[in-house]
Amino acid sequence: MNNQFIQGVTFDWDRIDNDSYLKRIEAFGGVKKLDFNKPVTFFVGENGSGKSTLLEALAVAHGFNPEGGTKNYVFSTHDTHSELCDAIRISKGYRKEKWGYFLRAESFYNVATKELEYSDWAHPSEKYHEKSHGESFLALTQNHLRPNGLYLFDEPEAALSPQRQLTLLMEIYSCAKEGSQFIIVTHSPILLGIPDAQILSFDDGIVHKCEYEDTQSYKVTEMFINNRKILLERLLSE
């Protein structure tokens, strides 16, 4: 039984202009519906394959601010989100999330600034700007991860060391066991190792399910670690 908050998404491509860049994203060609039936879903693929574009559309269509934050964050420093949010319909489950957060690495500075502005005596600031980039990222996730929450994360590993990625992995896994749902864009072979996660690859011109060992993040990392000297000799001698 699928008891996720966001159970899937359907696409109406007729609502997108033919000259829109969205029509040129290969992975979107022909896709009409995607199902999310696991507490943790990963979007993986090469840069520019459409992962973050879809995650952003899901976030905006679900009521989050395009630049990130909780649903209480209402601000815009530069309106650049795509029109894909207007061409999708989210299939919601019978459960309603009790909390949620949209995290995107590229606009985290703006969100951290707004968090300071929104703070008051009843809601003191976490002062993310006074922490290192990695420390603030991890602190934000730890402060906002709660049971029965919905979390959309865009490359949360961006500022984290491998050790901190393991910490985040444990936090996500524990929170998912307590009824939360995560949809995450990542290149991290560490985060992708979360047990029983659904992995959707945006490579090869179509969105499709993928096993952990078949992701490029895993295969390239494994190849480099096991053949570092040979690879470097070939790459750097060209």
Q: What is the pLDDT of residue 153?
A: 94
- Lowest-pLDDT choice from 23-32, 116-125, 190-199, 212-221: 116-125
Q: Which CATH architecture has domain 6-212?
A: 3-Layer(aba) Sandwich (3.40)
Structure token pair of residue 158: 């961006």
| Virtual torsion, Cα 178, 184, 189, 192, nearest 10 deg | 40
Q: How many CB atoms lie within 10 A of CB 129?
A: 12
pLDDT tens figures, 37-52: 999 999 999 999 999 9
Q: What angle do CA 90, 100, 48 make, to 5 degrees?
A: 60
Q: Is the pLDDT of residue 80 over 90?
A: no
pLDDT tens figures, 93-110: 999 999 888 987 665 656
Q: What is the pLDDT of residue 82?
A: 78
Helix 216-226 and helix 228-237, axial crossing angle in degrees, nearest 10: 100
Mean pLDDT of the chain: 87
The residues pairing with 8 across neighbouring beta strands, listed in sequence order, are 35, 91
Q: Is the pLDDT of residue 118 over 80?
A: no
For the chain, the domains span: 6-212
Contact 148, 181 (CB under 8 A): no
pLDDT tens figures, 182-215: 999 999 999 999 999 999 999 999 999 999 999 9
The residues pairing with 179 across neighbouring beta strands, listed in sequence order, are none
pLDDT tens figures, 147-171: 999 999 999 998 889 999 999 999 9
Q: What is the pLDDT of residue 67?
A: 76
Q: What is the pLDDT of residue 2?
A: 85
Q: What is the pLDDT of residue 48?
A: 92
Q: Is the pLDDT of residue 238 over 80?
A: no
Q: What is the pLDDT of residue 180?
A: 97
Contact 197, 210 (CB under 8 A): no
Q: Is the pLDDT of residue 232 over 90?
A: yes
Q: Is the pLDDT of residue 111 over 70?
A: no
For 108, half-sphere exposure in the C-beta direction (CA atoms, 13 angstrom radius) is: 25
Structure token pair of residue 225: 């670690």
Q: How many CB atoms lie within 10 A of CB 206?
A: 13
Of all residues in the chain, what percent carry a pLDDT higher than 70? Answer: 83
Of all residues in the chain, what percent carry a pLDDT higher than 90? Answer: 64
